[in-house]
Amino acid sequence: MQQALEQFYGSLKRKLGLLQRAKRVDSFDPTDRKEFDELERHRQCPYESRVRTRAYDNAMIDPASLELASTGFFKSNLDQPILVRFDCLRTYYGKKFTVQENPFTRTVIELIEDSTIDIPETFLFKFCNEYQPKSYGEIFGISEGEVLGKLSPYSEFLPWVHEAPRLDKRSGTFGPKHETYIEHTVIRLRNLLSLIEKYSYIPSFGDIPMGYVLQSEESWRFILTAGHHRLAVLGALRETGVFPSDEIVVRGASGRFWTHKKVVFKDSEARSWPGVKAGAISEAEAVELFHRFFV
């Protein structure tokens, strides 16, 4: 009887959890408020056991075995790991992983100096209170854009991928944000910093940053879709000289972070981009957004 009751309550708890997650997915929250259970899970640093044994993982990647990426190097799928220069990496919103541009990286520097810093004292907290863009275009410095300057900052619109803007899609790394979002982010950054300091950074195929490539005639950028927290920590450790490498192992995006088959996009093909072909944005404005990732 006792076992049957435990199974019943266990099943009920799982169903309630699924319902709560479904509700969070269906209702877009731009402040990105986090549930207590989610915060508590990350406080326990659930991925330490996997990191601890990663040195013995058969999928471990030796960066020295990879060719350094350069213009003209990229193929259509990027299904295998490649080595890219750190200064060619950009966030999903086109920012570098430097203290000057990235609020995550700057917050990690604060954690290096004081791991117990109070949430309201972090740069990320102040950043989200002060930086609250009014449009999607403003995030990229295109406030007067015919299309981008009128879109909600919570939109998602990459003309080389999307036929039309996707509204209420991404909460973004800007304010206003609920304090639990900032606490959640700081916990994750603190955990990653601690793990990398303790076990070093050992890339493996299933656990490396993922993204896609924007390529112009003379240059390129690797845009992250997964791994922002990790790269923010490594960026901070580069600033302090603890992680001296100028290259990082990445691979083409896939899975829940990226549902598109293509991962290499060229400005020379702008006329055939989905958003331009559909008439959702002019070719000139789409190319301007493209080039903002190269600044």
Give the span between the Cα atoms of 256 and 153, in whole angstroms: 22
88 close to 220: Cβ distance less than 8 angstroms: yes
265, β-bridge pairs: 214
For residue 104, the one-letter residue type is: F
Residue 176: is the preceding peptide bond cis (ω within 30°)? yes
In this prediction, residue 169 carries a pLDDT of 83
In this prediction, residue 136 carries a pLDDT of 96
Tokens of 223: 């845009």
| Secondary structure E strands in 234-275 | 247-252, 264-266
Which among 213, 224, 266, 222 has a CA at the least distance from the CA of 92? 224
Q: Which residues of the chain have pLDDT under 50?
A: 2-3, 5-6, 9, 12-25
In this prediction, residue 16 carries a pLDDT of 47
Tokens of 190: 């603190």
Give the span between the Cα atoms of 6 and 20, in whole angstroms: 21
264 close to 221: Cβ distance less than 8 angstroms: no
254 close to 212: Cβ distance less than 8 angstroms: no
What's the whole-model pTM score? Answer: 0.87
Positive/negative CA dihedral, 252, 256, 259, 265? negative
* Terminal C-alpha separation, the chain: 66
Give the span between the Cα atoms of 89 and 100, in whole angstroms: 15
